[in-house]
């Protein structure tokens, strides 16, 4: 039981190299769903496994077992259960702290960003901040806004501005803030998922790049626009915004430009293999955690006197 739960804590360490290998082999839109779904499953599996380890250690203590209406404490080796429970307490505490801190910070930044937008110049779904530093991002809400600074507008010519705005509108249409928020929360649940969060952020930008290229019909224009926007905004602090407000120059810009100018050749077998491996990793975590929790449940029933002990 404890071994199975501990094993499910190690499986997410396979996610970063797998995400880096799989993402370029999948269509950006497919990769976005696959990576985000996998990260969420791995994060949920880790929390469930830590909860199981904590419960195992707690119900091995006589006083706590009586509070749980157990006839006798769980029959687990203290040398294994106690360190595992201590690990679970520490990991869950760090996770709760990280999530709470991130949520509060992002909400604070979101409120400040909406306040800035309220006093910005409005033109349809576009909000123009009178700031010299070049910046542009998609701010979700009701309604969502494409926020761009006057410095960014001055840095680009007419077609490039339209390309940049098409990119940001793709973020709003695709509701990419949900993917970015989910990836950030998952990364707070397991340190290995931070690299997956970065892969998801890049994939979000790739999806918006492809959508903007389809809308304008000019891949080179999109590549030039994001390249010039990145150069113009290099070193600028930018406006206050939450992390889930996708930026036009987010992710490794050279990699995005390369993908726009030289689209990867479709390889159905490689794409199928990448998708299957991501599904297998998520399924393996689910099964491993589920088996561990099922064994814990059976041990609890035995301790409650509701089931015979396994021989």
Query: Looking at residue 65, what is its pLDDT?
Result: 62
* pLDDT tier at 59, thresholds 50, 70, 90: confident
Per-residue burial over 35-53, b if 16 or more Cβ lie within 10 Å, else e, is: bbebbbbbbbbbbbbbbbb
pTM for the full model? Answer: 0.90
The pair of three-digit structure tokens given for residue 84, joined into one six-digit string: 């595992």
What local confidence, expressed as pLDDT, does residue 168 receive? 95
Q: Is 22 helix (H, G, I), strand (E, B) or coil?
A: helix
* pLDDT for residue 311 is more than 60: no
What local confidence, expressed as pLDDT, does residue 177 receive?
95
For the chain, percent of residues with pLDDT exceeding 90:
62
Element (DSSP H or E) covering residue 259: helix 253-261
Output the pLDDT for position 1: 62
User: So what's the pLDDT on residue 165?
Assistant: 95
State the Rg of the chain over Cα.
24
Give, for 128, the enclosing helix (H) or strand (E). strand 126-129
pLDDT at 282 over 70: yes
**How would residue 235 be classed by pLDDT, with cut points 50, 70 and 90?**
low
Q: Which of 25-34, 36-45, 248-257 shows the lowest mean pLDDT across its residues? A: 248-257
Query: Average pLDDT of the chain?
Result: 88
Q: In what order do the strands lie in the sheet with 126-129?
A: 121-123, 126-129, 145-149, 136-139
**Residue 48 three-state SS:** helix
Q: Which range has the worst mean pLDDT, 188-192, 200-204, 244-248?
A: 244-248
> DSSP character for 298?
H
Show the DSSP H helices in 60-192 as ranges.
62-67, 78-118, 150-155, 158-173, 176-189
Mean pLDDT score, 40-50: 94
- Per-residue model confidence as pLDDT tens digits over 242-277: 889 988 887 789 999 999 999 888 788 999 999 999
Q: What is the pLDDT of residues 100-114, one digit of tens each?
A: 999 999 999 999 999
């Amino acid at each position: 039981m404890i071994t199975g739960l501990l094993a499910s804590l190690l499986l997410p360490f396979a996610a970063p190299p797998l995400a880096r290998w799989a993402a370029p082999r999948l269509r950006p839109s497919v990769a976005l769903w696959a990576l985000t779904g996998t990260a969420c499953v791995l994060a949920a599996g880790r929390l469930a496994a830590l909860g199981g380890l904590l419960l195992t250690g707690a119900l091995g203590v006589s006083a706590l077992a009586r509070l749980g209406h157990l006839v006798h404490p769980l029959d687990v080796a203290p040398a294994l259960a106690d360190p595992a429970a201590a690990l679970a307490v520490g990991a869950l505490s760090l996770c709760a702290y990280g999530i709470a801190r991130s949520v509060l910070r992002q909400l604070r930044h979101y409120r400040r960003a909406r306040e800035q937008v309220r006093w910005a110049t409005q033109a349809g779904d576009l909000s123009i901040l009178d700031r010299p530093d070049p910046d542009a991002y998609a701010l979700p809400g009701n309604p969502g806004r494409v926020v761009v600074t006057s410095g960014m507008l001055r840095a680009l010519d007419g077609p490039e501005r339209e390309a940049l705005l098409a990119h940001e509108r793709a973020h709003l249409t695709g509701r990419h803030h949900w993917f970015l928020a989910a990836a950030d929360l998952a990364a707070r649940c397991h340190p290995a998922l931070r690299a997956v969060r970065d892969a998801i952020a890049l994939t979000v930008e790739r999806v918006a790049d492809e959508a903007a290229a389809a809308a304008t019909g000019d891949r080179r224009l999109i590549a030039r626009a994001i390249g010039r926007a990145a150069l113009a905004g290099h070193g600028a602090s930018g406006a206050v915004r939450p992390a889930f407000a996708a930026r036009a120059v987010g992710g490794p810009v050279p990699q995005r430009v390369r993908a726009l100018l030289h689209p990867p050749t479709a390889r159905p077998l490689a794409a199928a293999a990448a998708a299957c491996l991501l599904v297998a990793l998520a399924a393996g975590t689910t099964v491993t955690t589920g088996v561990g929790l099922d064994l814990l449940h059976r041990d609890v029933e035995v301790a409650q006197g509701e089931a015979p002990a396994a021989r």
